[in-house]
Structure 1
Amino acid sequence: MAFRGLPQVRSGYNGRMDNPGSSNGIYLDHAATTEVDPAVLAVMDACYRENSGNPSSSHRAGLKAREELETSRESILEALGAASYDLVFTSGGTEADNLAVAGAILPGRTGITRVLAGLTEHPAVLGSADLVERLGGTFSTIPVDSDGRIGERELSSIELGKTTLVSVMMANNETGTLQPVERICSLVREAGGLFHTDAVQAVGKIPLRLDSFKPDLVSLTAHKIYGPKGVGALLVRRGVSLFPLIMGGGQENGLRSGTENVSLAAGFAHAVKLAVELQSREAQRLRELRDALAGEISSRFSEVTRNTPLEDTLPNILNISFGGVEGSSLAKLLDEMDVAVSTASACHSGSGKGSHVLEAMGLEPALIRGAIRFSFGRSNSISQLPELLSCLGKGVERLRQLAGTE
């Protein structure tokens, strides 16, 4: 196999599971979640032991916690080139998306409550439709092309006037498709609306300097970048008005009440710092791993369709449909062989529905059902590909034989 010369994984990870990073299998679901980086864990551990005060308290322990919280906030903003933003800590990307959409259209902000969102957005955005409509607004979707991208033709077909908010994710979590967010942001701003982008999958995968195009609202989460679960953020460009969804003590500038978890914030900040520092080198390594797998699948398997575009995509995601195979069955067989992959977004796969992303791209139902997402991360190396391909071959062959297609 022509795998020589590709860079190997950095020390500290071995690509195994039950927990990503243990010793029981190959983990290829990094778009769903990642293991906590040991350096991040060390920062959090020290914070839990040495900085347990309530950041809203006025005594020394509280002031020390407040200082740590604000240092973490500023560290994230600095790493992402976001000097013109305020940062609201949340419980994760879903809450950040909800706050961006609902907080922008709650009564009192404006009489115009029209929301547009990409048809391939995360369920945290699309699922806000009911709330928007209950609040008296309208929620519409923007179509995508066969790559899952909102192109010029799609943009020209929508009316941006009288729109309160447009939400388009920076990078798709199922296919890796990158959206032209800078172009869309500019058009929305010209039309007088707000622009929100979910950057959960983009941090650490592509260069990201938010002040270069200034989206109004940006959602982030820690657990996709080797940070802890349970913490995320919404970045709010200064001057943008937003209404809270959680009421109480008025923490986070009144936008998200509840005592902040300083240790989670500190871990999040360190995870962002590491992700940005490693971005260039790691993106190249992941791209080579992804392309090596894509090439081997193309040469070894019949009836395969690549759903991840060839250009303008994240470096670590490969979505492939296997003809004559149910993706959910293949994923289960691979799991029995200690290989972890996904059939769709982990946040959506439990619903029992097919991928709304692939449907929006115009794929036939059989291809949607046969889709598998491989998402590489720091724990993967080129040395795992022979074992992965062997397991994949056994799984596909078995299912096609059962279906009578081979």
Structure 2
Amino acid sequence: MTRPAIYLDHNAASPLLPEARSALVAALDLVGNPSSVHAHGRALRNLLDTARGQVAALAGAERKQVVFTGSATEAITQAVVGGAKAFAASTIVISAGEHAAVAKAAEATGLPVVTIGLLRDGSIDLDQLAEVLQHAAGNLLVCLHWVNNETGVVQNIARINALVGPTPHTLFIDAVQAFGKLPLDFAASAPDMMAVSGHKIGAPAGIGALLVKAHADVVRLIPGGGQEQGRRGGTEATALIAAFGAAAAAIAGRYAAAGVPALTARLEAALPPDAVVFGGERLGNVTNFAVPGIKNATAMMGLDLLGLSVSSGSACSSGKVGPSHVLAAMGIADALAECALRVSLGWNSTTDEVDAFVAGYRSILERHRARQGRRPDRQQQF
């Protein structure tokens, strides 16, 4: 199968950084187990220690606070399912815009789940959160995202910290889409736990991390040996971890170097006047928009035939194309939500790629309107 010529789905997975590829290949040449005390084991242990420091530096965390996992989903499940047990939570609090990994983990605890709504601009209704906290009975495990994976909306993390931090309740933040794009200061901030991912920043898939404060060391999910200071059993995937560390060290300046926010602004300026862009304050690499009358399934099929890879939202929805639960929570009507496309840019995105998307989408839209017997007036042109 020929690879798509242009990849504009970085929120699903970002292409492998050269530095991560080099670290991965080099680590694959090593043999042994990082828990072994002989020279081969110590060499692998040194790779783990280096990568732990690199991930910690990008997250504003201490080395000892980084627990490597097999994915961000595993990290989230450890935080939610393991955290609910460790902290004797009576209720899980999530938002209506959470990734399926958080929502499903909350459901798996078997505890009551309170869902905080989203406002029209995609932000979490923090007044509702404040009310829930004020009237809480028992221990709450509050699980919220920093940046929405579908809309790119940046949540008011400072107010979330201020609301939950002074309480006895536990706060977990899904920072997967924020990691490498926004400054994180885990060690000095309120969250007790935070999840990050490798393949969102240019590392291979199959590696993530849970950041934990000292009192959250008791949070467990996978029993086993003493790996990860006893916090996650199983021999560490050293090559993937080395690549994760290399990506964390390399990604910091790549978004600025690629001019990603300016590319996103260029794309949005080229959308037709009747396009609706969803979300208020957004991270500068995501455009989630809809043009009424052309469903996302139709547009994505046409774009794919042109070698342009975009999405309609989360890649973790079993390949389904249809209305988004995030847009629904924002009060967007199904008829418009069914037209939504997500274009997400990253460290290797270019002006030519953005312009190719604009041209490709324009051609699909014009053909669709012609088939529907609708001739766009001048104000509907790109």
Deviation at 1:403, TM superposition (A): 4.4
Q: Which of 37, 48, 52 is matched with 2:28 structurally?
A: 48
Q: Secondary structure of 1:182's partner?
A: helix
**Aligned residues of 2:296 and 2:321 also touching (Cα < 8 A):** no
Q: 2:364 aligns with which of 371, 389, 395?
A: 395
Q: Separation in 2 of the partners of 1:370 and 1:47?
A: 44
Matches of 2:311 and 2:148 in 1, distance apart?
A: 14
Give distance in 2, aligned partners of 1:214 and 1:156: 16
From 61, 65, 68, the equivalent of 1:86 is: 65
Mapped contact 1:98–1:128 kept (Cα < 8 A) = yes
Asked if the contact 2:51/2:241 (under 8 Å) is kept, the reply is yes
| 2:348 matches 1:379 | yes
C-alpha distance in 2, partners of 1:121/1:71? 32
Distance 2:245 2:64 in 1: 15
In the alignment, is residue 237 of structure 1 matched against residue 210 of structure 2? no
How far apart, in 2, do the equivalents of 1:18 and 1:80 lie?
36
Find 2:261's aligned residue among 282, 287, 293.
Answer: 287
Tell me the equivalent position of 2:112: 138
1-structure distance, mates of 2:355, 2:55: 38
Residue in 2 that maps onto 1:121: 98
Change (3 A) 1:204 1:241: closer
Gaps of 5+ in 2: 376-382
Cross-structure match for 2:9: 29
Alpha-carbon spacing, 1:277–1:376, altered in 2? closer, same or farther (3 Å): closer
Matched residue, 1:64: 43
Alignment partner for residue 75 of structure 1, among 54, 58, 63?
Answer: 54
Distance in 2 between residues matched to 1:339 and 1:352, nearest whole Å: 16
Secondary structure of the 1:47 match is helix
1:200 aligns to 2:140 (yes or no): no
How many residue pairs get matched? 373
What is the distance in 2 between the residues matched to 1:349 and 1:372?
17
The within-5 A match list for 1:213-228 is: 213-228=189-204
The alpha-carbon deviation at position 377 of structure 1 amounts to 1.4
Per-residue deviation, 1:93: 0.9
- Write the letter of the residue equivalent to 1:47: A
Shift of 1:165: 1.1
Partners of 1:243 and 1:255 within 8 A in 2: yes
TM-score (norm 2): 0.92
Q: Which amino acid aligns with 2:128?
A: E
In 2: Cα distance, 1:242 partner to 1:344 partner: 34
Deviation at 1:58, TM superposition (A): 2.0
Q: Distance in 2 between matches of 1:213 and 1:111?
A: 23
Query: In structure 2, what is the equivalent of residue 14 of structure 1?
Result: none
Q: Supply the distance in 2 between the matched residues of 1:279 and 1:383 (Cα, whole angstroms).
A: 16
Secondary structure (helix, strand or coil) at the match of 2:230 reads coil
Q: Distance in 1 between matches of 2:139 and 2:74?
A: 22
Q: Does structure 1 conserve the Cα–Cα contact (< 8 Å) formed by 2:116 and 2:128?
A: yes
CA distance in 2 between partners of 1:289 and 1:349 (Å): 29
Matched, 1:348 2:317: yes
CA contact (8 A) 1:40 1:270 kept: yes
Q: CA deviation at 1:349?
A: 5.4
2:297 matches 1:318: no
CA distance change for structure 1 residues 84 and 355 in 2, over 3 Å: closer, same or farther? same
SS of the counterpart of 2:216? coil
Q: How far did 1:110 drift?
A: 4.3
Instruction: Work out whether 1:99 is the aligned partner of 2:78.
Output: yes
TM-aligned CA deviation for residue 345 of structure 1? 0.6
Give % identity: 33
Instruction: Please report the RMSD computed on the Cα atoms of aligned residues, expressed in angstroms.
Output: 2.0
* CA distance 1:267–1:59, change in 2 (3 Å): same
Instruction: State the TM-score, normalized to the length of structure 1.
Output: 0.86
Shift of 1:159: 3.1
User: Of the candidates 129, 144, 162, which is equivalent to residue 168 of structure 1?
Assistant: 144
| TM superposition shift of 1:401 | 3.7
Structure-2 change in CA distance of 1:101 and 1:152 (3 Å): closer
1:59-79 deviation per Cα after TM superposition (whole angstroms, max 9, x unaligned): 221122112212211221123
5+ residue gaps in structure 1?
1-16
